[in-house]
Structure formats: structure tokens, C-alpha cells
Structure 1
Amino acid sequence: MYTTSDLDTEIAKAVEDIYEPDTDDRQRFPSDLSIEADSFQTQVDEVSKEISSPRQGKYAETQREHLANILLNLSRSIVTRRWTIFFDDSKAYSKGGLMHSAGFTSRSRTTKILDALVASETISRIDGAKHQENPHGSLYYPNRDLREKLYRYGLASTAERSFDKVLVRINEPSRGWRNADLTTIEEYYKIAEVNEYAKAQTWACKEAITRIFRYDPLSSGRLHTEFQNLPSRSQKIRQNTLINGQPIREVDFNANHLRLFLAFNKLDVFGDGTDAYREIANLARVDRQTVKSFFIAALNCDSYERARSGARVPDTFGRRIMDAFERLYPRAQIFNKGRPFGLIGLQLEGEILQIAMRQLRLLDVFSLPIHDAIAVNDKNYDLAKSAMEEAWYDVMKPFHPTAKTFVG
């Protein structure tokens, strides 16, 4: 059991939604997925009628396995509202390649199935040539009829084999890290401990928890698992899932990136400390959500104009926000011509969550990372709140002894 009784209502919104996800920022890579559900095998049988099957038994079985994995990945697309990228490059299907690691060992079988599903208008495709960031991969998303048949399997599918794969990744390795054995670094042992405990737990979209760095093990470094991609605003899917069959609650920091920036620069949060955005919003006479959007962008940009553009904030509001910030924190330099603070912030967030999750594990409390927050069973909320606070102070006190956080 992975969901509450309210979930069907929330997923129905995603199924009924006539709008497809944004191709620019709503994508997912395929995973090697499986599910224990006879009803899913019935769906595989039904869809396979649209695709010519090889005559030889072993090839027919390989095609069926590929079709089942494609359908499970498309079911994940539905519940996460993300396009799935399937690559056409033959190297991706070789051992060690992305598609091979996701369980797709045959390029010809995968291509044949996807082409047939597109031809029958069962799924939509955006060719890689039109999507510049992944020119060798095309984006796929199920059409409404298939969404209605598959959505229930997206949450129940698991990527059990992901726990046996490398748990740390560097996206843009700097010199000295391009061919490094990441299984030998200290961070790997820490994330391996997290996953050893996680393997025995159950949750929606179960998949290994990985740590992803930008250039090296000292840059960025957030924890990641598919669960965090579940919608929580337009459709409250994530909040209505279960951990080990019990309701969950999310434990989150208030204005965490801004607090990390201030503490890193040896500055105290202005006001009573319960809401780092509120004092700026009041002084700027701009709503809190706009202030939040601006700083989320600003801490990842090297100039005011880029921050304002990224946050889609009118210049009048942007300048009022900056004026208020500079009046409250005159010594703070938010824009850095080198690496923006965002990379440092992500690294600090990863450290904080890893420490908090370890402390909870020692209490036999399982937690899942959600960006800079965690999800736990509702009954463990107070324990999780304390663990998050202690982990934050453990990481940030060395930078600024009077630094303060607020967990809600």
C-alpha cells in the first residue's frame, strides 16, 4: 500500500489535465522498473496487440520485457508530470550506457515499440533534434487513454536494481575527477549506509537515494530520489502517499537558502527569526512569494538582471526587494562574479540532510529527502524536526556561532 484514500482524486487531476508538462524543465531519465501486479501484465498484453511480435519465443519475450519497462516509465511520467527521455544513440544501449543501465538492452526493440506507440497515437513524442539539450534523445509522454490505464502503476513501480548501482554522480567533473572511482570517496560510504537502510522500506516511486555533485564532491551535492519529483502543489500527490503503509508529513526549513547564505557570511537573520523572507517583504512592500522567488533565483545568479529575469519579477519589485535587503544586510554581497552561492548552498543542504537522516536512522526512523526537506511518518514528525534542527546547527555553527534556523 503506497497511497491514502485521497490520492485518487489528486491523480485524476493529472490524468484529466489537457496540458502536457513543460519540456524545458519537466523531464526524467528512464529507470529499470518492475512491479508486482497481475493487472499490469494485462495492460502489457493489451498494448502489445498494437505492436508486431517476433516469431521466435526468446525474442518475443525480450520485446515484452522492453514494452513492460517502457510502460512503467511512462506511468512514472504521469505521476511526476515529466516527459521521459528515451535515447536513440546506440552507445546508450551498450553495457554501462544509460539505456542499458535502465534495463533496455536492445536499441532495435526499444525503437520499434516507441515508434509503434507514436504511430497509434498512444503516446506523444518530441524529437531530440527539436530539443537541443538532449539531441540524441526524444521526449515521450502518454496520451489521455494510456494515462487512464497506467497512472496507478507509477507510484507502485519500484527500481530495486538501482540500489546495486553507483550511488554518487558528478554531472560536470572537473579535472582529476573525470575518471575517478567514486565508490572510494567518503561521501559514498555515507550514502551507501542510507540506502542499505532504505532497501527494506516501502514508499511511492521507490528508487535508490543518490547524491549528485556538480564539479567535484565539494560542489552542489543534493540528495535525490524519484519520490521528490511527485507533484505537491497543483496536484497534492506526494503528500497523499505512504511510507511503510502509514501517512507522511514533510519537515521543511524556512527560507533555507537565504539563511544558509547569511550564516555562511556571518550574518544574523533580521527580526524574530521565524521567517527570513517576511522582514524583507514588509520593508520592500512586496508580497512574500515574490520575495522568495527572487532570492531563489538570486542565490543562483551572478547579477541582478539575471536574477530578476529568472524569477520573472518586474524591475520595480526587484529593485525594491534589493533595496530592502541592502538596508537590512548592508555587508552582504549577494551577487558573485565567480560561482554563485547556490552551489555552496546545495552542498550545505546535502550535508544537513545526510546528517539528519543518519540520526533518524539510528532511532529506526526512515526519512526521504525532498530537496532541502524530508518526509517521515506523521507520528515521527517531532523527532524529525529535532534531527533537522540539530543537523543544521552542526553544519552551520562553525561558520557563524549565532546562526539560527526555523523548522516548520
Structure 2
Amino acid sequence: MRWARALLSSGKAKAGEIAIATTAPFACDDYMLALASGSSLPLCFVHGRPALATRDGQRCAALADALQGGLGQARIRRLLALAVNQGTVLDGLPDGRLPVSSEASLSSAAEWERALAANASVSSILMPVIRLLEMGTSQAEAAGKLLLRGRARNLWDDALRAAPASALMFSLQALRVADDRDPADSIAWCSVDQLAAAPRRFAWLMGLNTKSWPRNSGRDPMLPGYIVPRALIDPDPLETSDRRCFENVVATAQLAVLSSARLSGDGKRIGQSTLQASTETLEIVPREQPALHALTEADRLLARPQDHADNPMVSAAMAAWNDWRSARLTPHDGMVGGSHPALSSLLGKPQSPTSLSRLLRDP
């Protein structure tokens, strides 16, 4: 992503001429979403964005959590915050708020009914929904019809068709939605076969390690190859397809960058792919090396320590860190005046051992 921003800022390439690809992009989608959000780069997920990364997906997740996890206040409040303003019965709630204490323990429809007894207008709207949610995943279809609209309803129906209602969270995690960005005017984040079908001038190929490039189909045929040739069972093996896509991308790109990791996710050493034998230059990038071209504001501050003093937030954080390591009493230890009105009101009330310890540690 730093490389892509450097190309854009230097004027060497347009967003529609840059692509970042790997064999299985789904495993890195969460990282790319975070980097794209922090950098504001026009990044298009050609293979589709995770449904749970959208607001409609979060509406479905909140409903599934309430059906499977119970009627806790946190779940109901999250569902109400996401499900309002869709044209459902929840839009009738005054101000969209719950008139119950946030500390109340509510785990059943009967407890919710007692808590809402003093607010008839809210109870008449919310209690039918609470009773439906209490029935669990057996009423998943009815709950979707009542509380979801538009694309959220379509995602909910797709998840119910893909697997039983008891596996809703797993089904929602596997769903993807088309990206709203135009691929022709954005940096492409895609699989290598998609990039091979529509090559770009500047391509970065990630994860060129053993067992990743090329991938092994993993098939173990019952009959050996001298009895039934493998070409009859699998005419286009995954390994051959990965090699063909790699050769296509490298041959058509003006600049192709091939990157590989030294360690796996478990911390074990992994080797480079045999496809990297064709690289012209090899550069080893240490993990702690400062970025030559920063991607985000946090990246810039990490690469340029001299800018820390000019940032009030970083300066405050560093002061808190230094005071925490100091043995003397500092303002970050909660040092306040003896006649502070908040302390006076607190000390006039009964205190439990927990509240006293919190008061001493952080007034």
C-alpha cells in the first residue's frame, strides 16, 4: 500500500493502472480494509468486500447475535442502533432509545416486560420483537422479515439459504458483496487469476512462498497415475493455473514487484517460491525499517520521530508514558485538589471495597 501511494503521489501511475494481488486474497481482506480506511486510497475489492464490513452486514450480525446469544442489554441496544431508520416497526421508538438503566440485568422477555412497564409506548413496540428474539434461531426467517429491509434482508436470506439458521454467524462471515468503487478508476485488490484476465502496468504480487505460489491441489486420487492419467481427472490443475497466471501478469506488467515473507503466521521459517527465480533484483526489508513513503498519519509519525513534538496527542501520550514510569506523584496519577466538588459528593456516599480501590487508584 505504501508502494501504491508512492506511485500515485509521484505521478508515475494512475489508480487504474495499479494492482495488488495474491492467490487467496480473502485471508488479507481485513488488513486491506483497515489500510484503505486509514489512508483513503481508492482501493477496489474486485473479488467483493466482506459483507460484515458493511452496515447492512452489521445489521444482520446484530440480529444473529441476539437470536443466538440471548436478550442481553448490550445485544438489544446494538440491534436497535443498527436496525432503526429502515422502515420497520423499530422506527416508532421515541428517540430510538431504551428507557431502562444500562446497569439493569435483563436476560428474558419477562424481565424486559417488567423494566418497560412504566413506558407503555415503548413496550408496545419493543415487546413483540423481544418475544420473537427469545424464540431463538427457529424464528430467524420471521425476525429477518420484521427487522431487516433492502440489502440487509437480501444478505439475511442468502445466509439462511447457505446453511441452517444455527450457523448464521458462519454463513454471514462467508458472504461477500460487490464493491461500490469502479475498478477502472481504483487500485485493484484481487486474486491473481483476476489480474491475469485484466493485466495492469504496475503489479505487486504478495505471498510468493512455498505452498502458496504455486498452490497444490491437494487431491489424492484413489487410482495411481499409470492406471488413470491425472490429466483425465483434472485437465487444468491448480498448480498449472497459478504458474500460467503468474507468467501472464509478469509478462504484461511494466513493473512487477514480487514479495515473500520470511516467517509464517506461526513464526516458522518458510522458503521462497520457485517462481521468484525470475526476479532481477532482490531487496530484504527489515521489519523495523522506517517507511520511505508513509501511508497513513500514524505511519508518518512512526517514520519521522521529529514530528512527535508537534503533535499534541502524541506529546500527551508520551508524557503519560513517562509519568507512569516515574516514582513521583504526577497529574496522570489522578492528583486532584482536596476540595474538589466531585470528591466531596463521592465521599458523602456509602462506598464498597471495589469503589474505594477505584477511587484511590483513579479519582
Which TM bucket (shorter chain)? Answer: under 0.3
Q: TM-score, normalised by structure 1?
A: 0.22
Q: Radius of gyration: which is bigger? A: 2
Higher strand content, 1 or 2: 1
Higher helix content, 1 or 2: 2
Q: TM-score, normalised by structure 2?
A: 0.24
